[in-house]
């Protein structure tokens, strides 16, 4: 049986070295393994008026250009919830106050996805898309009111952009470059998925409230727990069918368990209603969008212009044939002598010479076959009638290709 | 976010807000109006507002308050009858007001619309409250989520979901049927919805 395609295999990453401490040292933290005991966290604490001396075991510090007033970023090594709780508890024994935090400060939580399949991560992101506004309400209700994190330019909600979890679905279809186009300053940043195998929750503002931080870590843990435990289709069907207050309550309990009550902030029904709508937007087919329709209209307008140009070049009485690709080739060229197009390679070369999209070669071949068959009939008719079919003229291009004599070259257009 | 121009924050203020849009809090009239913050020259902050579009200024430390909030994602109507899809762009930049680098505006025909004073003030002005309704005018925004274009295509944000004809919306599928029905019921819109 084939190994499941995990994020680690997909991006060729190894699992990180996990920071652990002896169980005896965990003390009161040992019993609480968090919602997902296997989930590895990495937390970045941005603090101003900070000292590197505050660093504790399992943590490093570095300077951060986005901070001021001797701001530092304290970064925990990859560790499980139990160890992280202990690490943060030790760190926050240092007395910090409002002088250490400004709207510039944030707490970023990286959560490891290396052991997850692409579909599990997609499930996770689909849930995130639905609950995003609920999560932001939780964050804003517990932060300094003047720091409104939803309006912050460093953690823009997905719901305010046109970015959706669909990017992961498209990645599953092989479009890995999509991750490169992702924006770092989204509330849930997917860029580290390709570089470290993590996703980064950038929602939380700077705080020394350990209960609040731990609750946030648990909320994230629950998203991972559910994503790893249930199939994509099961979660999707539960989410898209949410439309009553009782269902909103039930889904919060189902996903966030003991943390659900913390998320039941004022107006959370409205947030979930919007979340479901955002999810449906993400699930909507991508073919018919304003952008694609506009592009399609632009293409049609260009075709019209080209058609008019070609029409202007054609002598009166010439047979109109569909514009574009082989149609144009055939319409511009006099009848094609048999044998000219009898080799597929030469056809493709001709297509290249005419600067037509090579992917249309199949269509070209079909049309040329039809044209050749018609030509064959013409020659047969001419033979029967004792007349001679006209011989077409071709020119050689400077790079050794041939084109119909009156076919417009790019530079002529 | 609220901010005011002072002697102390001149450099920060210029870096964050010049060449962006914000709202001037007008305490006398108990309202706020869109302004384009153009430049600073130390003691003065120059901006354009909807009051005739003339260049105005405030003095550092005068206590004039500005509010800087990003746009909401959704359809907005302009006072000239056009409708626009506004979206935030999470690109790296320092500007905190609404600017070209953090905001995208798309027209109902899919064209990119510049983030300039003309467009912004046609959307955000006192005489153009963003109250959504239904009328025979086309294009029309039914809500932040739904809009109908001149060709009677119905959009969910930028996604084509159906067509409208004489007050009957025919959806391609029942994906957002519930939400549209809720919208029609809540706003008492004279629309009938069916799935084609």
Asked if pLDDT for residue A156 goes beyond 50, the answer is: yes
Residue B56 placed within a domain: yes
In SS3 terms, B90-136 reads as: CCCCCCCCECCCCEEEEECCCCEECCCHHHHHHHCCCCCCCCCCCCC
B119-153 in b/e form (b: 16+ CB < 10 A) is bbbbbbeeeeeeebebeeebbbbbbbbbbbbeeeb
Cβ–Cβ below 8 Å for B70 and A290: no
How much is the pLDDT for A332?
46
Which DSSP category does B73 fall into? Answer: S
Check pLDDT > 80 for residue A282: yes
**pLDDT more than 70, % of chain B:** 98
Mean per-residue pLDDT over chain A, rounded: 79
Please determine, for residue B109, whether its predicted confidence score (pLDDT) is greater than 80: yes
- Least CB–CB distance from A288: residue in B87, B106, B159: B159
Helix, strand, or coil (residue A177): coil
- Per-residue pLDDT band for A365 (boundaries 50, 70, 90) equals low
CA distance B9 to chain A (A): 14
Query: Is residue B110 domain-shared with residue B85, that is, in the same domain?
Result: yes
Residue B163 placed within a domain: yes
The chain A residue lying nearest B85, using CA atoms, is: A290
B30 touches chain A (CB under 8 A): no
Q: What mean pLDDT is predicted for residues A394-408? A: 49
| pLDDT of A390 | 57
Whether residue B161 and residue A284 make contact (CB cut-off 8 A), yes or no, is yes
Check residue B148 and report its DSSP letter.
Answer: E
Q: Which residue of B has its CA nearest to A155?
A: B90
Exposure letters A48-78 (e unless 16+ CB within 10 A, then b): bbbeeebbbebbebeebeebeeebbbbbbbb
pLDDT-derived band of residue B53, with 50, 70 and 90 as boundaries? low
Q: What is the 3-state secondary structure (H, E, C) of B111-122?
A: CEECCCHHHHHH
How many domains does one find in chain B? Answer: 3
- Give the mean pLDDT of chain B: 90
Regarding whether B107 and B86 lie in a shared domain, the answer is: yes
Q: What is chain B's length?
A: 196
Q: Do both B53 and B6 map to the same domain?
A: yes
Q: How far is B52 from chain A (nearest CA, A)?
A: 29
Give the model's confidence band at A149: pLDDT under 50 very low, under 70 low, under 90 confident, else very high: confident
Report yes or no on B135 lying in a domain: no
Nearest Cα to Cα of residue B35 among B128, B97, B103, B89: B97
Confidence of residue A237 (pLDDT cuts 50, 70, 90): very high
Q: How far apart are CA A150 and CA A136, in angstroms?
A: 7
Query: Strand B31-40 to strand A106-112: parallel, antiparallel, or no bridges (unpaired)?
Result: unpaired
What gap in Å lies between CA A19 and CA A55, rounded to an integer?
15
Q: How many CB atoms lie within 10 A of CB A268?
A: 20
Pair B102, B149 in one domain? no
User: What pLDDT sits at residue A69?
Assistant: 80
Q: Which of B40, B68, B96 finishes a domain? A: B68
Select from A146, A183, A243 the Cβ nearest to the Cβ of B90.
A183
**What pLDDT does residue A367 have?**
65
Residues of A whose CB is below 8 A from B1: 103, 146, 148, 151
d(CA B87, CA B75): 9
pLDDT higher for B147 or A413?
Answer: B147
The answer on B104 and B160 residing in a single domain is no
Q: Which residue in chain A is spatially nearest to B87 when comparing CA positions? A: A161
Q: Report the percent of chain A where pLDDT is more than 90.
A: 38
Q: For chain B, say whether A1 makes contact (Cβ under 8 Å).
A: no
Report pLDDT for A1. 57
Mean pLDDT to the nearest integer, B138-154: 93
Residues B41 and B78 in one domain: no
Mutate to test the interface with B, among A162, A243, A269, A287 (most CBs of B within 10 A): A162
| A400–chain B nearest CA distance, Å | 42
List Cα–Cα distances, A74 to A16, A50, A51, B9, B82, in angstroms.
Answer: 18, 10, 10, 28, 49
Q: List CB contacts (< 8 A) between A284 and chain B.
A: 156, 159, 161, 175-176
User: Per the CB < 8 Å rule, is A161 touching B87?
Assistant: yes
* pLDDT higher than threshold 90 for residue A338: no
Q: A411: pLDDT confidence band, cut at 50, 70 and 90?
A: very low
What pLDDT score does A159 carry?
92
Measure in Å the smallest separation between the Cα of A65 and chain B Cα atoms.
13
Residue B8 lies in a domain: yes
Task: Check: pTM over 0.80? Answer yes or no.
Answer: no
Cis status of the peptide bond prior to B139, with omega within 30 of 0? yes
Residues B82 and B116 in one domain: yes
Task: Judge if B159 and B178 occupy the same domain.
Answer: yes
A288 touches chain B (CB under 8 A): yes
- Chain A residue with minimal CA distance to B84? A290
Residues of B in contact with A288 (CB under 8 A): 159-160
Q: Do B102 and A146 touch (CB under 8 A)?
A: no
Indicate whether A252 pLDDT > 90.
yes
B52/B95 same-domain check: no
Residues A139 and A204 sit within 8 Å (Cβ to Cβ): yes
CB–CB of B157 and A291 under 8 A? Answer: no
Q: Does A210 touch chain B (CB under 8 A)?
A: no
Interval A339-352: pLDDT, tens: 444 444 455 455 54
Mean pLDDT value across residues A372-376: 68
Instruction: For tokens 């999470």, name the residue.
Output: B90
Q: Three-class SS of residue A28?
A: helix
Report chain A's terminal Cα–Cα distance, integer Å.
57
Which stretch, B14-23, B46-55, B93-102, B130-139, has highest mean pLDDT? B14-23
pLDDT band at A355 (very low <50, low <70, confident <90, very high): very low
Residue of A146, A183, A277 lying closest to B91 (CB–CB): A183
Domain holding B147, by residue range, is 140-195
Tell if the CB–CB gap between A161 and B89 is shorter than 8 Å: yes
For residue B196, is pLDDT > 90? no
Q: Is residue B101 part of a domain?
A: yes
- For A86-115, write each residue's pLDDT tens digit: 999 999 998 888 888 888 889 999 999 999
Lowest mean pLDDT among A369-383, B135-149, B154-168: A369-383
Question: Is residue B78 pLDDT above 70, yes or no?
Answer: yes
Option in A151, A277, A283 nearest B145 (CB): A277
Q: What is the CATH number of the domain that holds B31?
A: 2.30.30
User: What are the residue ranges of helices labelled H in A65-189?
Assistant: 81-91, 118-141, 166-172, 178-181
Chain B hits for A295, CB-CB cut-off 8 Å, are: 110
* Pairing mode of beta strands B159-165, B168-171: antiparallel
Of B2, B88, B156, the CB nearest to A160: B88
User: Edge-to-edge strands of the sheet including A59-63?
Assistant: A59-63, A72-76, A41-47, A106-112, A198-205, A188-189
Domain for residue B23, yes or no? yes
Does the pLDDT value for residue B52 go beyond 60? yes
- Greater model confidence, B185 or A145: B185
State the pLDDT at residue A408.
42
Do B25 and B58 share a domain, yes or no?
yes
- Mark whether B58 and B79 lie in a shared domain: no
The candidate with the shortest Cα–Cα distance to B18, out of B91, B101, B122, B84, is B101
A301 close to A335: Cβ distance less than 8 angstroms: no
- Put simply, the answer to whether A280 touches B156 (Cβ < 8 Å) is yes
Which of A315-319, A383-387, B109-113 has the largest mean confidence?
A: B109-113
The bridge status of strand B31-40 relative to strand B44-49 is: antiparallel
* Range in A318-332, B65-79, B154-168 with the lowest mean pLDDT: A318-332
Give the pLDDT of residue A181: 74
Mean pLDDT in residue range A390-402: 52
- In this structure, the strands spanning B159-165 and B153-156 are antiparallel
What confidence score (pLDDT) does residue A382 get?
72
In a domain, B130, yes or no: no
When scoring A160, A237, A243 by the number of chain B Cβ atoms within 10 A, the one with the most, hence best to mutate, is: A160
- pLDDT tens figures, A22-79: 888 888 888 888 999 999 999 999 999 888 888 899 999 988 877 888 889 999 999 9
Q: Are B104 and B89 in contact (CB under 8 A)?
A: yes
Instruction: Tell me whether A65 touches chain B (CB under 8 Å).
Output: no
Residues linked to residue B87 through DSSP beta bridges, in sequence order: B104
Q: What is the pLDDT of residue A121?
A: 93
User: A285 and B159: CB-CB below 8 Å?
Assistant: yes
Residue A270 contacts B where some CB pair is shorter than 8 Å: no
Does B161 contact chain A (CB < 8 Å)?
Answer: yes
Q: How many CB pairs under 8 A join A and B?
A: 88
Q: Do B72 and A160 touch (CB under 8 A)?
A: yes
* Predicted pLDDT at A316: 52
The three-state (H, E, C) secondary structure of A228-297, written as one string: HHCCHHHHHHHHHCCCCHHHHHHHHHHHHHHHHHHHCCCCHHHHHHHHHHHHHHHHCCCCCEHHHHHHHH
Q: Which residues does chain B have within 8 Å of residue A248's beta carbon, measured at their own beta carbons?
A: none
Helices and strands in chain A: count of H runs, count of E runs:
16, 8
Flag whether B169 is in a domain.
Answer: yes
């Amino acid at each position: 049986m084939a190994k499941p395609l995990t994020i680690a295999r997909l991006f060729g990453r190894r699992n990180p070295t996990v920071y652990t401490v002896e169980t005896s040292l965990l003390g009161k933290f040992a019993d609480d393994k968090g919602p997902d005991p296997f989930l590895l966290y990495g937390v970045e604490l941005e603090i101003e008026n900070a000292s590197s001396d505050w660093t504790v075991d399992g943590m490093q510090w570095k300077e951060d250009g986005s901070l001021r007033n001797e701001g530092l970023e304290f970064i925990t090594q990859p560790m499980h919830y139990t160890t992280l709780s202990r690490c943060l508890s030790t760190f926050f024994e240092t007395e910090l106050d409002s002088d250490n935090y400004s709207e510039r400060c944030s707490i970023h939580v990286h959560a490891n996805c290396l052991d997850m399949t692409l579909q599990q991560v997609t499930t996770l992101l689909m849930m995130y898309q639905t609950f995003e506004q609920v999560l932001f309400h939780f964050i804003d209700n517990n932060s300094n009111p003047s720091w409104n994190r939803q309006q912050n330019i460093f953690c823009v909600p997905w719901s305010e952009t046109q970015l959706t979890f669909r990017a992961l679905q498209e990645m599953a279809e092989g479009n890995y470059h999509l991750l490169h186009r992702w924006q770092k300053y989204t509330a849930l940043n997917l860029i580290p998925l390709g570089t470290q195998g993590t996703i980064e929750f950038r929602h939380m503002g700077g705080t020394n409230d350990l209960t609040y931080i731990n609750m946030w870590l648990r909320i994230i843990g629950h998203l991972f727990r559910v994503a790893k435990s249930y199939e994509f289709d099961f979660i999707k069907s539960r989410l898209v069918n949410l439309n009553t207050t009782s269902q909103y309550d039930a889904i919060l309990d189902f996903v966030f368990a003991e943390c659900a009550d913390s998320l039941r902030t004022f107006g959370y029904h409205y947030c979930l209603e919007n979340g479901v709508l955002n999810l449906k937007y993400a699930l909507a087919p991508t073919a018919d969008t304003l952008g694609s329709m506009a592009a399609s209209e632009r293409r049609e307008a260009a075709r019209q212009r080209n058609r008019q140009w070609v029409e202007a070049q054609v002598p009166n009485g010439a047979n109109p044939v569909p514009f574009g690709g082989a149609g144009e080739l055939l319409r511009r060229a006099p009848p094609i002598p048999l044998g000219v197009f009898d080799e597929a390679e030469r056809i493709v070369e001709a297509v290249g010479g005419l600067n037509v999209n090579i992917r249309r070669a199949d269509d070209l071949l079909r049309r040329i076959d039809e044209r050749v068959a018609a030509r064959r009939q013409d020659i047969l008719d001419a033979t029967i009638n004792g007349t001679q079919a006209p011989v077409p003229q071709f020119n050689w291009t400077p790079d050794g290709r041939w084109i119909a004599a009156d076919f417009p070259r790019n530079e002529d257009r | 976010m609220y901010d005011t121009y002072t002697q102390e924050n001149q450099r920060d203020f210029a870096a964050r807000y010049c060449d962006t849009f914000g709202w001037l809090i007008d305490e006398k009239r108990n309202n706020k109006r869109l302004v384009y913050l153009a430049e600073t020259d130390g003691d003065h902050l120059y901006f354009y507002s909807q009051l005739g579009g003339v260049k105005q200024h405030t003095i550092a430390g005068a206590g004039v308050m500005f509010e800087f909030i990003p746009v909401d994602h959704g359809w907005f109507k302009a006072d000239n009858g056009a409708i626009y899809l506004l979206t935030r762009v999470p690109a790296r930049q320092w500007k905190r007001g609404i600017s070209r680098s953090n905001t995208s505006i798309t027209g109902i025909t899919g064209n990119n619309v510049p983030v300039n004073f003309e467009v912004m003030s046609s959307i955000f002005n006192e005489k153009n409250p963003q109250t959504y309704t239904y009328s025979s005018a086309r294009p029309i925004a039914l809500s932040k989520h739904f809009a109908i274009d001149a060709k009677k295509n119905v959009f969910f944000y930028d996604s084509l979901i159906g067509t409208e004809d004489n007050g009957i919306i025919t959806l391609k599928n029942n994906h957002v049927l519930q939400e549209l029905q809720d919208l029609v019921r809540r706003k008492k819109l004279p629309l009938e919805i069916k799935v084609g």
